[in-house]
Structure 1
Amino acid sequence: MQIFSSRHPVLRGWSSLLMIATFLAAPALAKPSNFGSVSVAPGFKPAAKNLTGYAKGAVALHKVVGDRDRNNNRCMGYGSPEPDHILVLKGNFARLKLQVKSGKDTTLLIKGPGNQLFCADDTARGQDAGLTAQKLRGGTYQVWVGTSEPGQKYRYTLSVAE
């Protein structure tokens, strides 16, 4: 009699449980970003970090991140299914400002820990998107820069400042 045979009903049950436990315990893989990442800690220097990329109006971003953010702002624009940037906050921030500079009509979507969602469109300065987020906790944030119309593609700079 083979006690260790995979045909043994008790062992077959344990092997299934082991496979399920391994799958559930595996760490979630973070989505890669299209244009890189930046890590900042409170009081970071220089006063602003700049990231560059191309806004690509491929898919409706509200289908990727959600329809409305925590302030009930509509999540608009078109971009890539993958985040354009990863922003790692090494500590809690009372206030953080993100501003897109492209000279075009852009949108900005940020998804953070606990599925916090921030969505922005035009600012008082023009059609480029920007937002000032309050009370951000440390962690990893996914950032999308979108176009206002599908099928558009243009270069941008995204600045991150306290």
Structure 2
Amino acid sequence: MDIYKNCQVNMANLGWGALVGIAATLAIASPSFAQSAIALGRNFRPDPATLQGNGGGNVSLASLAGIADNCRGFANTTPNHTITLNETFPLLDLLVYNSNVNDDPTLLVKGPNGIVICADDESSGRYPQTNRRLPKGTYQVWVGSKSVNQSFPYTLSLSEIVQK
């Protein structure tokens, strides 16, 4: 029996339950750089909306932003989140926070019409935060770390009021 037929026979003998288990194991074992996406309209609930992720990487935020102005830190090339605003927001506050004082998150947001926002230590002198008018469109968000290749969990909080 050749290898291809042997694989077919063995796969058929495993059954669907075993195949699903193998697929789940592979999904858990492989590193995830998948981003999360959210679409928001004005007066969204709950406010704030929160997204979880893992920050950090080995690519400088300044190079991802295409500017050096206040773009500190390192992230992966793939954005952590995509935010679609279904209408213009007079104010949208983005705040990144985490529970480990040794982690030092930074933030890059790229949006329509060349919008580039970099943030670092605006909230309590420790967390990146930006609040401004944002036009309707799609925004890519990277959460970086001040140190290259440092990974950490974080929460991205989005609100229509300035968060403290």
TM-score, normalized by length of structure 1? 0.73
- Supply the AA of the counterpart residue of 1:111: K
CA distance in 2, matches of 1:126, 1:117: 21
> Aligned to 2:107, what secondary structure does the other structure show?
strand
> Aligned to 1:114, what secondary structure does the other structure show?
helix
CA distance in 2, matches of 1:35, 1:82: 8
How far is the alpha carbon of 1:114 from its aligned partner? 1.1
Structure in which a larger fraction of residues adopt helix? 2
Tell me the residue number matched to 1:46: 46
Aligned pairs (5 A) from 1:64-83 = 64-68=64-68, 73-83=69-79
How far is the alpha carbon of 1:57 from its aligned partner? 2.4
How far is the alpha carbon of 1:141 from its aligned partner? 0.2
How far is the alpha carbon of 1:82 from its aligned partner? 1.1
- Supply the AA of the counterpart residue of 2:65: V
**Contact residue 61 and residue 75 of structure 1 kept, 8 A:** yes
Q: In the alignment, is residue 89 of structure 1 matched against residue 92 of structure 2?
A: no
Tell me the residue number matched to 2:153: 155
Question: Could you say what the CA RMSD is over the residues aligned between the two structures, in angstroms?
Answer: 1.4
> Aligned to 1:127, what secondary structure does the other structure show?
coil
CA distance in 2, matches of 1:67, 1:149: 19
**Contact residue 35 and residue 78 of structure 2 kept, 8 A:** no
Q: Which runs of 4+ in 1 moved over 4 A?
A: none
How far is the alpha carbon of 1:149 from its aligned partner? 1.1
Q: In the alignment, is residue 115 of structure 1 matched against residue 114 of structure 2?
A: yes
Unaligned runs of 5+ in 1: 1-32
How far is the alpha carbon of 1:42 from its aligned partner? 0.9
CA distance in 2, matches of 1:56, 1:131: 19
Identity %: 35
TM-score, normalized by length of structure 2? 0.72
Structure in which a larger fraction of residues adopt strand? 1
Query: What is the count of residue pairs matched by the alignment?
Result: 125
Unaligned runs of 5+ in 2: 1-32
How far is the alpha carbon of 1:126 from its aligned partner? 3.6
